[in-house]
Amino acid sequence: MAKKPKNAINPMRGEDYPEWYQKVIDAADLAEASPTRGCMVIKPWGYSIWENMQRVLDGMFKATGHENAYFPLFIPMSFLEKEAEHVEGFAKECAVVTHHRLEPGPDGGLVPAGPLEEPYIVRPTSETIIGHMYAKWVESYRDLPILINQWANVVRWEMRTRLFLRTTEFLWQEGHTAHATKEEALEETRLMLDVYADFAENYMAMPVIKGEKTAGERFPGAVQTYAIEAMMQDRKALQAGTSHFLGQNFSRVQEIRFQDQNGKEEYCWTTSWGVSTRLVGGLIMTHADDDGLILPPRLAPKHVVILPIYRSDEERADVLPYCESLKQELEAQTSADGKVEVIIDDRDVRAKHWDHIKKGVPLRAEIGPKDIANNGAFVARRDTGEKKGVGREEFVASVSQTLTEIQDNLFARANKLREDNTCEITNVDDFKAYFTPKKADKPEIHGGFAMCHFVESPEVEQLLKKLKVTIRCVPLEGGDSAGTCVFSGKPASQRGVFAKAY
């Protein structure tokens, strides 16, 4: 046997966090860069995590009355121009389709041909084209609300990209709803924020703060933007999902009008909300360790991997049937979310357990001749690293409970990290010190979430920019609070979460 390496991931989190992140993705075989600038290839293991996220979220959307539909990838350029802030927000980073064929060029290669009369942009988000359709569909209050979600790819020409966290093309869902009243639209905005928080905490085991974005951080064209914010292991914040109250901004420029019960013509109130493959990045940065990925059971494509251990064909002939029947017994158990998913890795490969450690499978069961003799299994938990021999019956009977424990443990661990690295700051010097790395700090790991009373102003923005800190949100719980602005000393009516962020 090869000597067990100290850690599977090199560098470790504390040595070089960004590089560690990249190495975890490689080691777990989740995704890789592609020949298309800033775009990634999501490999089967990574995609199966996204599929699980989709399945759960889709169920939540449908349970809250939404239906799926599909709108075009290409948006006429003129559509973007209608909403002033929206175009400001997206025109600088969008893929533009200008031609509809290729033909041989002067030097033998291909050149674009068939110029389009009006260029199309590849959707960076679909408010404009979906709103255009809603304007056709809505006539009366009886046609409202419209509650539609779309699973789609979108493109934003980001300058700096990073697998899952920020890619030129990414996969996401975008909900777009239209309502007869402001109250109903606001309620929808908050409902979907709650859905996202529920998903993040109860499936991803990633604690989040629900809050409202400040004016400078709003979605281009929105009246209010709500977000869920999570703390990664380097103590930076990740915006993991957003829900926007668009007021009548889009309905006015797109003429989404309806006749109310009194026959009066009104503009609709609209919302939009989305989460993306960025969540996979958040999952990695919340739970992975120096040996690779750790998957919360409720989103793990496989819950248990059985590893047959044998040194001869004879042993193999004994071990494999035992593994097969164990697999069946485990699969007959049901976890909180359905079937317990089990695989057997019977490759004749040394130290193959490392593959599954790196991929983050919650439980590993090694089965060798000795285990069979004891009618047991040697079971390892990925989250705690705990390993022990367990009787077969006990293992099978407790597997569902163990998976729940792992799920809970991951959440508790992430929650503790956040608690340990969140503080109330009341003066500007403490604030600066908090966000300035000290020599003793591990590189790039410092700071955390600072809770500060504040008043928005250009001076505050300036200071924050210098420190590379952003206001993540004003939390729904505890944000509405009177105090003194940390930066200006002025009376403040709100308290925000400040952090460095992805």
| Residues at the contact surface with its own copies, assessed by CB under 8 A | 32, 34-36, 39-44, 47-48, 50-51, 67-81, 87, 91-103, 109-110, 112, 114, 119-122, 129, 132-133, 148, 152-153, 155, 157, 169, 171
Q: Which is nearer to its own copies, 171 or 206 (CB)?
A: 171
> Tokens 């909403």 sit at which residue?
83
> What number of residues does the chain have?
502
Q: How far is the CB of 265 from its own copies (least distance, A)?
A: 23
Largest Cα–Cα separation, the chain: 84
Half-sphere exposure (CA, 13 Å, Cβ side) for 195? 24
Q: How far is the CB of 121 from its own copies (least distance, A)?
A: 7
Distance CA 111, CA 360 (A): 46
Concatenating the DSSP letter of every residue in 327-360 gives: HHHHHHSEETTEEPPEEE-----TTTHHHHHHHT
Q: How far is the CB of 205 from its own copies (least distance, A)?
A: 24
> Side chain identity at 2, as an amino acid letter?
A
Q: How far is the CB of 179 from its own copies (least distance, A)?
A: 17
Q: How far is the CB of 376 from its own copies (least distance, A)?
A: 31
Q: How far is CA 307 from CA 31, 203, 210, 363, in A?
A: 25, 27, 41, 11
Q: How far is the CB of 322 from its own copies (least distance, A)?
A: 24
> Tokens 């002067």 sit at which residue?
106
Q: How far is the CB of 483 from its own copies (least distance, A)?
A: 42
Q: Which is nearer to its own copies, 148 or 223 (CB)?
A: 148
Q: Which is nearer to its own copies, 36 or 401 (CB)?
A: 36
Distance CA 22, CA 234 (A): 14
Closest to 182 in 3D by CA, of 251, 274, 262: 251
Per DSSP, the three-state class of 394 is: helix
Distance CA 8, CA 358 (A): 7
Burial 386-424, CB ≥16 within 10 A → b, else e: eeeebebeebbeebbebbebbbebbbebbeebbeebbee
Q: Which is nearer to its own copies, 169 or 337 (CB)?
A: 169
- Residue 319, beta-bridge partner list: none
Distance CA 166, CA 218 (A): 18
Q: How far is the CB of 111 from its own copies (least distance, A)?
A: 8
Q: How far is the CB of 75 from its own copies (least distance, A)?
A: 7
Q: Which is nearer to its own copies, 193 or 361 (CB)?
A: 361
Q: How far is CA 197 from CA 46, 174, 205, in A?
A: 22, 16, 10
Closest to 182 in 3D by CA, of 127, 245, 134, 253: 245
> Side chain identity at 252, as an amino acid letter?
R
> Side chain identity at 164, as an amino acid letter?
F
On whether the CB atoms of residues 357 and 387 are closer than 8 A, the answer is: no
Q: Which is nearer to its own copies, 6 or 101 (CB)?
A: 101
Q: How far is the CB of 116 from its own copies (least distance, A)?
A: 8
On whether the CB atoms of residues 341 and 351 are closer than 8 A, the answer is: no
Question: For residue 49, how many other CB atoms are within 10 A of its CB?
Answer: 25
- Residue 368, beta-bridge partner list: none
Q: How far is the CB of 169 from its own copies (least distance, A)?
A: 5
Q: How far is the CB of 71 from its own copies (least distance, A)?
A: 5
Q: Which is nearer to its own copies, 68 or 436 (CB)?
A: 68
Q: Which is nearer to its own copies, 30 or 228 (CB)?
A: 30
> Tokens 């800033």 sit at which residue?
38
On whether the CB atoms of residues 414 and 207 are closer than 8 A, the answer is: yes
Distance CA 4, CA 72 (A): 52
Q: Which is nearer to its own copies, 168 or 189 (CB)?
A: 168
Q: Which is nearer to its own copies, 258 or 498 (CB)?
A: 258
Q: Which is nearer to its own copies, 49 or 192 (CB)?
A: 49
Q: Which is nearer to its own copies, 35 or 458 (CB)?
A: 35
